[in-house]
Amino acid sequence: MPVARILFPMPLPEPFDYAVPDDLDVAEGSYVAAPLGKHERLGVVVEVLGDEAGEGRTLKAVSEVYPTPPMTKAMRDFLAFAARYTVSHPGRLLSMALRARAGLLPSPTETVFTATGELPPRMTDARAKVLDVMAAEEAPMTAAQIAEAAGVSSGVVRGLAETGALQAIDVPTDPPFPPVNPDLPGANLTAEQAEAAEELRHAVRADTFHTFLIDGVTGSGKTEVYFEAIAEALKADPEAQVLVLLPEIALTQAILSRFTARFGAPPAPWHSGLSDKERRRTWRETAHGRARIVIGARSALFLPFQKLKLIIVDEEHDGSFKQEDGVTYHARDMSVMRGKLEEAVVVLASATPALETVVNAEMGRYTRLKLSARPGAARLPDVELVDLRSDPPGKGMWLSSRLVHEMQVTLEAGEQTLLFLNRRGYAPLVICKACGERLKTPGTENWLTEHRYTNRLVCHVTGYSILKPQKCPHCGAVDSLMGVGPGVERVAEEVRVLMPGARIEIFSSDTAQGGEATRGIVERMEQGEIDVLIGTQIVAKGHNFPNLTLVGVVDADSGMKGGDLRAGERTYQLLSQVAGRAGRAERPGRALVQTYAPDNPAMLALADGDRDGFLQIERDVRAELGLPPFGRLAAVIMSAPSAEMVDQAARDVAALAPNGQGIELFGPAPAPITVLRGRHRRRFLVKSPRNVDLSAYMAAWLAKLKLPAPVRLSVDIDPYSF
Ligand code: ADP
């Protein structure tokens, strides 16, 4: 009797063995149900062993095989690699690949009706209404839809079907996606774009693993270039599938229509905003190899493609590719590993590539394709620093006279301004004028942000939120609470006073929840119905507003605070992205960057457009300190209900760290979020030379630990903040 080793999507260290009954067709990669404890559980067969493996053993048997093509070996290898790399149980990775397990079953069906043209033997008013509706409507509808449109009960519809006047058809509720067409014409590429596209097409045809970096200034046509690679992949192999990873949902909305225009049908979407039904549809269609272009957020990397031949990671430098909760992984780095195992081409694209990526390109691991110009008349914006020390805004205000002047000129010219401030709400801090108390989320050190539209105080770390109290919760003084510092709502208030005639809108995750609201703002902006848009980082990406000519960065220094070594790089990336929103069409753009630190290397590089000079400084610092990509880094986060308990546990854990291999330990120190949901948190940073297998080191260390139950520990390989 053959034996199947089944991995379950749970944090279990090992797969379990099951007998394979004669009548079941079980292969490696099959999705199966098998009894585990009291329940039937879904699992994936990771290995099938021959008859001898079952001899003399009493094993429970596999109960069922799902009608889905087995998970490919490349995918199983990828999950195993990711588990090892992130120091996680393989079953946890499998559970990420099975997020939409309803997709394992065939699509449910529903009954829809069309008119046959025959008349019923007996006509009634209600029946006539139904037939009128059917005559006007081409597409088949469900009984409920017809009944509603005709204002009758759905019994009338079914009665008509029995007479033969309507025909009932069972259709899948989540049908395959409409086919994409790789043969539609693309843009007329510039010489530089055409050359880059040809390199990508060539690599796609070669059908082996290769990683590219499209390093092109904002608006240089990176998207148009990778469209050519997608078209080639689809043409070269009728079964090839393509995955496009994008950092944010807001961007996905804007770019979906570009995909639809280029490939004749929308791609299959995958992100947290989907309904269960949409999700299982994308999962099923991907697993069957029918979804040919999938576009999604970072977790789309864990979809079970049948034949993945091309992976695009757009805005590859973006911080949201890093998953910080649960299994922590960086989707860009994991994409390269998946590409290697799938023998696929990987294309990273950015105007401000991460230092890691640039170094990989220079080492020859990635091929760099440069796009240095915007096509046609569009030019890169001029960036000017506004030194707030010599042009300070008035008390309680945030805009310099220089910026306000330019905003007025822009308004008079009938053009648009974007003000960028990466702070939601009205004020990032609320203090009591009477006693000086800073309002925090109870049990934590997190400040509460004032939101005026909703009149609430909100914690942006934990989501805790209360109505703004009348009295200070500390001293009881009445009407003494005061917001300190700027948020987008407060800047909007200032602009309303300064430019009473202007049409002003706020674009943040508070005002644009979900695709509809986002599309609304984007459309009004495109139609010229907004004069001044005030936005957080969600405006930074992907949008092309042809009439936007002025970008004002309200507080360029806000991301530079705190001890994070990556702060400079991140600030540079974000601000160049924001500045790049200006001047995308024929009109030239300008960006004014307000700062108190105009001598900071990130600011100087922005003003001079000297990205490579800036990267050189960053790289020297990192090389000097042995930090990524010149060394390896992991973080250990520990938490417990009390500070004493976590401190004691952290000391015990540190004492067990294996010595040698050039490993250095920093900490434990308070984690960046010191208290979260009532748990006190500490963090170690573990640094090793580049040639050390840090994941293996961490696994060996953790294997020795026995932590008291209330203490939790998690490992973050390649932490994003350090
Ligand atoms: P990026 O991805 O580098 O920001 P996009 O591909 O979005 O650049 O291009 C910016 C804008 O320029 C888009 O509206 C795009 O359609 C247009 N564009 C890019 N290349 C061409 C071209 N060769 N011909 C015409 N329009 C182009």
* Nearest residue to 28 (alpha-carbon basis) of 60, 64, 69: 69
Confidence of residue 213 (pLDDT cuts 50, 70, 90): very high
Amino acid at 129: K
* Size (the chain), residues: 722
Helix, coil or strand: residue 354: coil
Mean pLDDT on 615-622: 91
Q: Is pLDDT at 445 greater than 80 in this prediction?
A: no
| Residue 214, pLDDT score | 98
| Residue 331, pLDDT score | 96
| Residue 378, pLDDT score | 65
Dig out the tokens for 604 from the structure: 């100087």
Is the Cβ–Cβ distance between 553 and 575 less than 8 Å? yes
The architecture of the domain spanning 382-425+486-622 is 3-Layer(aba) Sandwich (3.40)
Q: Is pLDDT at 513 greater than 90 in this prediction?
A: no
Is the Cβ–Cβ distance between 433 and 471 less than 8 Å? no
Confidence of residue 211 (pLDDT cuts 50, 70, 90): very high
Which residue carries 């023998």 as its tokens? 343
| Residue 563, pLDDT score | 64
Dig out the tokens for 706 from the structure: 């026995």
Q: Cα separations (Å) of 291 from 110, 254, 270?
A: 22, 21, 11
- What's the rounded Cα separation, in Å, for the pair 451 and 467? 10
pLDDT in tens, 28-58: 999 999 999 899 999 999 999 988 877 888 8
Ligand 1 atom with minimal separation from the 220 CA:
3
580 close to ligand 1 (CB < 6 Angstrom): no
**Torsion angle of alpha carbons 40, 44, 49, 53, nearest 10°?**
-30
Phi, psi of 505 (to 5 degrees): -140, 155
Dump strand ranges (E) for 191-246.
210-216, 241-245
What does the radius of gyration of the chain's CA atoms come to, in whole angstroms? Answer: 29
| Residue 685, pLDDT score | 92
Please choose from 189, 223, 578 the residue to mutate so as to test ligand 1's pocket, defined by most ligand atoms within 8 A of CB: 223
Q: Which CATH number fits domain 3-72+83-104: 1.20.120, 1.10.3470, 3.30.300, 3.40.1440?
A: 3.40.1440
Percent of the chain whose predicted confidence (pLDDT) is above 90: 61
193 close to ligand 1 (CB < 6 Angstrom): yes
* Nearest residue to 343 (alpha-carbon basis) of 303, 309, 367, 312: 309
What are the residues facing 590 on neighbouring strands? Answer: 382, 550
| Residue 585, pLDDT score | 62
Which residue carries 């030239």 as its tokens? 588
- What's the rounded Cα separation, in Å, for the pair 200 and 197? 5
Q: Which CATH number fits domain 631-717: 3.30.70.600, 3.30.365.10, 3.40.50.410, 3.40.50.150?
A: 3.30.70.600
- CATH T-level topology, domain 191-371: Rossmann fold (3.40.50)
Confidence of residue 251 (pLDDT cuts 50, 70, 90): low
- What's the rounded Cα separation, in Å, for the pair 263 and 167? 34
CA of 193 to the centre of ligand 1 (A): 10
Q: Is pLDDT at 343 greater than 70 in this prediction?
A: yes
pTM of model > 0.95: no
| Residue 250, pLDDT score | 53
Spell out a b/e string for 474-502, using b for 16 or more CB atoms within 10 Å of the CB, else e. Answer: eeeeeebbebebbbbbbbbbbbeeebeeb
Which spans in 416-545 are helix H? 488-498, 514-526
Confidence of residue 567 (pLDDT cuts 50, 70, 90): confident
220 close to ligand 1 (CB < 6 Angstrom): yes
Q: Nearest C-alpha to atom 25 of ligand 1 is from which residue?
A: 187
Q: Cα separations (Å) of 545 from 254, 416, 530, 593?
A: 11, 9, 11, 19
Mean pLDDT estimate for the chain: 91
Query: 191-371 with 382-425+486-622: one CATH topology?
Result: yes
pLDDT in tens, 123-178: 899 898 988 888 887 788 888 889 998 899 989 989 989 998 898 899 988 889 99
Phi, psi of 132 (to 5 degrees): -60, -45
Phi, psi of 205 (to 5 degrees): -65, -35
| Residue 562, pLDDT score | 63
- What's the rounded Cα separation, in Å, for the pair 574 and 557? 12
Percent of the chain whose predicted confidence (pLDDT) is above 70: 97
pLDDT in tens, 295-336: 999 999 999 999 999 999 999 999 889 998 889 999 999 999
Dihedral sign computed on CA atoms, order 481, 482, 487, 492: positive
pLDDT in tens, 194-204: 999 999 999 99
3-state secondary structure string across 458-485: ECCCCCCEEECCCECCCCCCECCEEEEC
446 HSE (CA, 13 A, CB side): 25
**Maximum distance among all alpha carbons in the chain?**
91
- What's the rounded Cα separation, in Å, for the pair 538 and 557? 18
Dump strand ranges (E) for 304-413.
308-314, 322-323, 329-330, 345-350, 367-371, 382-387
* Nearest residue to 97 (alpha-carbon basis) of 73, 70, 74, 79: 79
Report cis status (omega within 30 of 0) of the bond before 629.
Answer: yes
| Residue 485, pLDDT score | 87
| Residue 583, pLDDT score | 74
Dig out the tokens for 600 from the structure: 């900071």
**Torsion angle of alpha carbons 171, 174, 178, 179, nearest 10°?**
-110
| Residue 191, pLDDT score | 95
Ligand 1 atom with minimal separation from the 214 CA:
3
Phi, psi of 489 (to 5 degrees): -65, -40
What's the gap between Cα 111 and its chain centre? 36
- Higher pLDDT pick, 428 / 137: 428
pLDDT in tens, 659-716: 888 999 998 888 878 888 888 999 989 999 999 999 999 999 999 888 988 999 999 9
219 close to ligand 1 (CB < 6 Angstrom): yes
The DSSP code sequence of 560-613 is: G-SS-TTHHHHHHHHHHHHHTTS--SSS--EEEEEES-TTSHHHHHHHHT-HHH
Is the Cβ–Cβ distance between 424 and 460 less than 8 Å? yes
| Residue 431, pLDDT score | 93
Confidence of residue 219 (pLDDT cuts 50, 70, 90): confident
Strand 141-142 relative to strand 382-387, pairing: unpaired
Which residue carries 């033969």 as its tokens? 164
Is the Cβ–Cβ distance between 275 and 537 less than 8 Å? no
In the chain, what are the domain boundaries?
Answer: 3-72+83-104, 109-172, 191-371, 382-425+486-622, 429-484, 631-717
188 close to ligand 1 (CB < 6 Angstrom): yes
Most confident segment among 196-200, 533-537, 656-660: 196-200
Dig out the tokens for 139 from the structure: 């597409």
222 close to ligand 1 (CB < 6 Angstrom): yes
218 close to ligand 1 (CB < 6 Angstrom): yes
| Residue 515, pLDDT score | 64
